[in-house]
Amino acid sequence: MSRRNNLVHQALQLIVNTGDHGVLQSELWRKLKACSREGSRIALKLENKGFIRRERELFSGRWTYRLYPKRRPTSVNSIIDCPCLMCPETSRCGAWSAVRPSICERLTEWILNIAQMEMPPSGDG
């Protein structure tokens, strides 16, 4: 792997690990021992590929960017309460069976609850 590709890979890994907090561009380049010009090119490349988003931020009186991952690794916690994990019908359930996820009320309810929790609050009332 070339030095640049290696840096891109390391940068993405570091950004993903920051999660919702994100990381200041300058902080990231310090960790990677890259110059700011090289770092900016990498950030643009990652943004253009849809891996990260950049948000302008005023830090110590200067405008810079904070970098956030767009995709996060899936955690086991995200499915810990999925009804399928404790379902007595698991052995009979399948895409082409009489008992199937596409018509399962428990699974549908679980998915709808997640969707509802992730919806932004409405501006009404």
Give contact residues for ligand SF4 (rule: CB under 6 A).
83-84, 87, 89-90, 93, 99, 101, 104, 106-107
CB of 110 to ligand SF4, least distance (A): 8
The dihedral through the CA atoms of 117, 118, 124, 125 has a sign that is positive
Coil, strand or helix: which one is 85?
Answer: helix
CB of 114 to ligand SF4, least distance (A): 14
Alpha helices by DSSP H, the chain: 3-18, 25-32, 36-48, 105-118
Coil, strand or helix: which one is 2?
Answer: coil
CB of 15 to ligand SF4, least distance (A): 34
Nearer to ligand SF4, 24 or 82 (CB): 82
Nearer to ligand SF4, 30 or 106 (CB): 106
